[in-house]
Structure 1
Amino acid sequence: MTVNDDSFTNWKIREEIAESMIPLIGKLHRERDVTVLLHSRSLVNKSVVSILKTHRFARQIAGEELSVTETLPFLQALTALDLGPSQIDIGMLAATYKSDDRGLSVEAFTAEAVAEATGANKIEGGEGRDVVLYGFGRIGRLVARLLIEKSGSGNGLRLRAIVVRGGGDQDIVKRASLLRRDSIHGQFQGTITVDEANSTINANGNAIKVIYANDPSEVDYTAYGIKNAILIDNTGKWRDREGLSTHLRPGIDKVVLTAPGKGDVPNIVHGVNHDTLKPDEQILSCASCTTNAIVPPLKAMEDEYGVLRGHVETVHSFTNDQNLLDNYHKSERRGRSAPLNMVITETGAASAVAKALPDLKARITGSSIRVPVPDVSIAILNLQLARETTREEVLDHLRDVSLTSPLRRQIDFITAPDAVSSDFIGSRHASIVDAGALKVEGDNAILYLWYDNEFGYSCQVIRVVQHVSGVEYPTFPAPAV
């Protein structure tokens, strides 16, 4: 047998193992609200090849490829336990088991690692929490996809309605079509049908009422059976407490804004300051995509090295706020053609850092350039540190943060030498550290941080909503603090 034959045989064996994992992952998610992760990447609803690729990706961050032969025993052990709603990282289970010298079996080690999610300790699933989307644009539709994907057993977040302004003939059909197909993010994973007579979109069994209104004051959500709901405003029309409070109508309990909040509205970056939210807070913001991209790595650098001052330059994909062709715009430069120009503009991300990291004393400045790509941006974070360090030390630190810290869902790490922006379309992390581009000299460090300003940000929004709704389930093994 040749080397090529050996390689192909090995691939077929791993394919078969990955194929056997799919029903186990699906059953845990559907029946017990357990999300199986691999180094913070969900394996729910993934294909055979996607599961194998996710295992192989571990080589870039952990230094060696993770095999399905290593993780399958842990997955099988999980299915035998009395698990409650949780997120369980089988990549971390496999890694920590390797370093454990007690001689435990995989079954015993797994049971111990997830003990807080089993038996009398487990969280009991509730009725679920209603969610309403106010607006159905770029972020609204991606948030809808994520809510539908995460519906699981139905005991978590439930997308009940979207609120839009009337758009004429076949409005609901056109909106369903935009949910079904996306030029950047591809096809919706599942089935979508439209009931025009009842103004409902049915996506993977989720009946989503389409409510037409020109103003929040026109809607009584209880008339649609919606109660105690979280409303996600992705229009950006209202940004202060007074304006956002108009959403607090019958049936709505909390309002989450997908744009930077003004005044005393809390700006929340999940993973950094979400635990500062008061339980009775009804109005909050998820800040901006760029704020979410820079604050987690900034915190990681501040915690380890101290930061004296910094500047962030964002090279940002163009957005719907700009014009396709030169035309009037209330803001300077944004009226010039977005697909034809690099456009210097302002960013509020640097000033927003103070809201998310109030203990950071360093002054952070920022500016932005919009460029002719439709999605994925990069933030160049230039920091003066409180002590000197080396490139290798910073790389090791950020790699460890991406793997084992409480920020591992926010920060990703890549070593690919030829990575470009389109490689990060669909990334679920708030930012991705480009190891090859990192520069360190003495007390100066320059981080290059990729981020999918649409999808990665939408994932952060969902994490915040899960937190405030009480359905943000614990992750096992627990990340190192």
Structure 2
Amino acid sequence: MTKQGPIKVGIMGFGQTGRQLFELASRSNDVEVVAIADIGKPDILHYLLSSEVEDPGRHKLEGNFLTNDRCRARLMEIDRPAEMPWDIFGVDIVIDSTGKYRDQASMEDHLSNGAPRILLRTLPTDHIDRIVIPGLNESSACASDRMISAGSATTSALALLLHSLAESFGIECGSMTTVHAFTSDQALQDYAGSDFRRSRSAAKNIIPNSHEAGLWLGQILPAFDGKILTSALNVPVQEGCLLDVNLVMTDSNVDAEAVNDVMRAAAAKHPGIIGAVEDPIVSSDVIGNPLSLLFDTKGTIKAGSSIIKTLSWYENLGHAARLLDVIRLYNTLDQQREAA
């Protein structure tokens, strides 16, 4: 029988992405968050959520429940997938937004504890049934998928850019650097960590870093397998990221305006996912933008005979919105399978 009512979602990890997911779901008419697993104290989690949203009064803490006019989510002080009893909440899908539990064993823990599907907010470390990037490869999704990734904010932005341009131009190879806001796993003061550079203060340094998008890009866009080098610069801003991509074009006649026109067309084709901006914006202007990719037409430059440099913007809210899009996609596939 076809399921009625909202999609019931569990969230593991109530950091920035988890809170954005909860806020977005609370303003939807088809997604309901029913359980949240996080080691944080309920009153602190409620406080953090209230400090970030436009209307903090909507969200209330009632004992161990985070409530609003759309959701009543049980807060569980649990930090590991193996400890979370998803089965008692009747979830349709769980989003692991911790960024920590990306391996197959952790995903199987979610499934064993009653999650029909697990969706990672970032890239996996090993096995995955599917990486789904809205606006790019939704048609590849199958109802039988159980372990899914929605990529990452950076990976999605890069893949959408490459796919849009490759529909019109031949691309030999390229490189990507994300100029990225600092992240919660970086130290604010110099502190010995697992990596030399990441042991330095995020608040006062530009920190060169590797980026794993290149390792998985071939699974998302097979034509680019091994052709794009990816790296990151973590910089002392809290929100707003810049994607700096340099591409070697097959046709030396391709110029900056031709690239801009293709991306304007991509924005028209994928409203709500891709945008194109003509104004000279900076990182703070993209905060709160729900797009996965905001292409900067003023940043396109041709260098030499065949190199095109592009700039694009994104921030984490767009990725949170795409996670909900993936949830809706699989709910539709389930309904179609049940109706068949």
**Structure 2 length-normalised TM:** 0.91
CA distance in 2, matches of 1:445, 1:261: 30
C-alpha displacement of 1:343 = 0.7
Is the CA contact 1:308–1:361 (under 8 Å) kept in the aligned structure 2?
Answer: no
Matched residue SS, 1:130: strand
**Which among 276, 292, 317 is matched to residue 413 of structure 1?**
276
The answer on 1:426 being equivalent to 2:291 is: no
How many aligned positions are there?
331
Deviation at 1:247, TM superposition (A): 0.4
Corresponding residue of 2:298: 436
Higher RCO (CA-CA < 8 Å; seq separation 6+): 2
Using the alignment, how far apart are the partners of 2:222 and 2:274 within structure 1?
20
- Listed one character per residue, the Cα deviations across residues 123-173 of structure 1 (whole Å, up to 9, x for unaligned) are x993222100011111111111111111x2xxx2211110122x4xxx212
Alpha-carbon distance between aligned partners in 1 of 2:154 and 2:26, rounded to the nearest angstrom:
25
Contact kept in structure 2, 1:310 and 1:362, CA below 8 Å: no
Amino acid of the residue matched to residue 161 of structure 1? A
Please show how residues 80-99 of structure 1 align to structure 2 within 5 Å.
none
2:222 corresponds to: 358
User: Does the Cα contact within 8 Å between 1:159 and 1:206 map onto a contact in 2?
Assistant: yes
- Superimposed CA distance per residue, residues 252-308 of structure 1 (whole angstroms, 9 cap, x where no aligned partner): 210001111122313222211232122111101112221011110110111100211
CA distance in 1, matches of 2:103, 2:284: 34
Which of 140, 162, 173 is the matching residue for 2:36? 162
> Residues 177-211 of structure 1: CA distance to partner in whole angstroms, max 9, x if unpaired?
111112xxx53465122111xx1111234211112
Q: Distance in 1 between matches of 2:146 and 2:333?
A: 17
Task: Report deviation, 1:433.
Answer: 0.8
User: In 2, are the aligned partners of 1:247 and 1:255 still within 8 Å (CA)?
Assistant: yes
User: In the alignment, residue 455 of structure 1 is paired with which amino acid?
Assistant: L
Determine the structure 1 residue equivalent to 2:110: 247
Give, as a single letter, the amino acid of the residue that structure 2 aligns with 1:239: R
In structure 2, do the counterparts of structure 1 residues 351 and 250 end up closer, same or farther at CA, with 3 Å as the change threshold?
Answer: closer
More strand by share: 2
| Alignment partner, residue 174 of structure 1 | 44
Confirm whether residue 191 of structure 1 aligns to residue 58 of structure 2.
Answer: yes
In structure 2, the residue matched to 1:232 is 95
Runs of 4+ in 1 over 4 A off after TM superposition: none
Q: Structure 1-normalised TM-score?
A: 0.65
Distance 1:190 1:363 in 2: 49
AA paired with 2:326? Answer: V
What corresponds to 2:330 in structure 1? 468
Instruction: Give 1:254-293 correspondences, 5 Å limit.
Output: 254-265=117-128, 266-293=130-157
Distance 2:162 2:9 in 1: 31
Contact 1:260-1:286 within 8 A present in 2 as well: yes
Provide the residue aligned with 1:94 in structure 2. none
Relative distance call for 1:347 and 1:214 in structure 2 (3 A) is closer
Alignment equivalent of 1:344, drawn from 197, 208, 229: 208
**Corresponding letter in the other structure for 1:253:** P
Contact preservation (8 Å) 2:142, 2:333: no
Aligned counterpart in structure 2 of residue 448 of structure 1, from 308, 311, 334: 311
Q: Which amino acid aligns with 1:248?
A: L
**Retained in 2: the 8 A contact 1:317–1:373?**
yes
Q: Which aligned pairs between 1:19-58 and structure 2 lie closer than 5 A?
A: none
Amino acid at match of 1:307: I
1-structure distance, mates of 2:36, 2:56: 19
Pick aligned residue for 2:159 from 292, 295, 311:
295
Uncovered stretches (5+) of structure 2, i.e. residues with no partner: 336-340
| Equivalent-residue separation in structure 2 for 1:426 and 1:471 (angstroms) | 30
Aligned residues of 1:300 and 1:398 also touching (Cα < 8 A): yes
Q: Aligned letter for 2:61?
A: V
Task: State the secondary structure of the residue aligned to 2:202.
Answer: coil
How far apart are the structure 2 equivalents of 1:471 and 1:141? 26
Within 5 Å, give how 1:103-142 maps onto structure 2: 126-142=4-20
Deviation at 1:340, TM superposition (A): 0.6
Partner of 2:338: none
Separation in 2 of the partners of 1:308 and 1:409? Answer: 29
Structure 1's unaligned 5+ residue stretches are: 1-123, 474-481
Is it true that 1:145 corresponds to 2:23 in the alignment?
yes
Structure of higher CA gyration radius: 1
1:92-129 residue CA offsets vs partner (Å, 9 max, x unmatched): xxxxxxxxxxxxxxxxxxxxxxxxxxxxxxxx993222
Cα 1:274–1:240 change in 2 (3 A) is: farther
Cα deviation 1:54-98 (Å, max 9, x = unaligned): xxxxxxxxxxxxxxxxxxxxxxxxxxxxxxxxxxxxxxxxxxxxx
Shift of 1:440: 2.6
* Residues 179, 188 of structure 1: 8 Å contact kept: no
Deviations 1:363-413 (A, max 9, x none): 10122111110011111110111212122222111111101x2x3332210
* Aligned counterpart for 1:396 among listed residues 235, 240, 261: 261
